[in-house]
Amino acid sequence: MCFAFAFGAIYVPVVAHFLSPLSRILFSWGNFHLRAWRLNMLLNSTPGFIAIILMWILPETAKFLLSVGKEDRAYETLNRLCLKNRGKDLQSLGITGVFQADLPESSAKKRNFFESLWYDTVPLFKPPYLRNFLICTVILSGYFFVGNGIALWFMKLRQIMSDSNMIACDMIKYTKTTHSSSMCSQKTSNFIDGIVLGCVFLACCILISLLLICVRNSYIQLLYAIVATICGFSLNFLKLQLPILIAMVLFSSLLASSIPLISSVLCAVVPTHLRGMAINMSYLFARLSVVIASAIIGSCMVPYCLVTFNIFVLFTLAVAIFTCFLPKI
């Protein structure tokens, strides 16, 4: 299911690659109202509309409905599935109701909005869930900080890197000082690099699926974090375009592709009725970390390039260390 993120990472630069020459033609026609950027927005918005429709149609799981005290809706969901799969309703099979044996008694009580918000949030910051929740949140924030933070600026960083035999930071400083221009670049290689990033992201996801057959979740995360740390650190001395591209792509993709893994760990360490809030709280901090990462790259990458890259390397190393404390699932 998580391959969809990788396909999206490939789809967007592919569309931009083919619309780049079209945009120059359309913008040269002064009275032509259909612009390439509008077509680009339309193509990129279509998957979002499809997702909204699917989210509206698909029901909540019966286990979740039971965990929040909605036994009638859980029964209706299971009855609808039974009719589709077996052509019979539950009543004809002698099933008149459903329940969850290990459901905490207090979770089935009906509450107003504020009571539910309090009940779903406070337990996450108390034992026995506090330790695992904080570890997962720190790791998830690290994945977003490095993986998504660099991915957001990847095209721009590649654009301002020259073809000189220098390390990445020297390329960035050299290009910025000698070719200062406010115009957006439309070089084909920029989009190709973005497609490479998406393809490597997809390859990392496929490798995770294969490794999960025989390797623990936490071990895969530790392996990916260690390799990403090495790739990030290597940017301090790599001098050729191809090795720099490979290191940057792996540095971002390995951590970004690990996001579903830590999300599944978080779901496993909290009970059903707390999973929704646990995921939301963790992703809240994780997305905040992306904002911080983007601000750091945008303001510090050119004047303090080596320091900026190594900040991200240190965050990756911290993620690897915290991964050692994850439950072995």
**What is the tens place of the pLDDT at every residue in 241-271?**
889 999 999 999 999 999 999 999 999 999 8
Residue pLDDT, tens place only, 91-113: 888 888 888 766 655 444 556 77
For residue range 212-240, what is the model confidence (pLDDT) as tens digits?
A: 999 999 999 999 999 999 999 999 998 88
CA-closest candidate to residue 249, choices 178, 157, 116, 111: 157
How far apart, in Å, are the Cα atoms of 107 and each of 10, 33, 56, 271? Answer: 42, 56, 25, 11
Residue with structure tokens 């286990």? 63
DSSP one-letter code for 61: P
Which tokens is 107 given? 């979770």
Q: Given a cut of 50, is residue 32 above it in pLDDT?
A: no
pTM of the model: 0.79
C-alpha of 75 from chain center: 33
The Cα–Cα gap between 135 and 226 comes to 17
The rounded distance, in Å, linking the Cα atoms of 274 and 125 is: 12
Tens of pLDDT, residue by residue over 167-176, are 888 888 776 6
Work out the pLDDT band at 33, boundaries 50, 70, 90: very low
Q: How far apart are alpha carbons 320 and 138 in whole angstroms?
A: 11
> How far, CA to CA in Å, does 169 sit from each of 99, 115, 148, 237, 239?
60, 52, 20, 10, 10
The rounded distance, in Å, linking the Cα atoms of 133 and 140 is 10
Domains along the chain? 129-178+188-323 (1.20.1250.20)
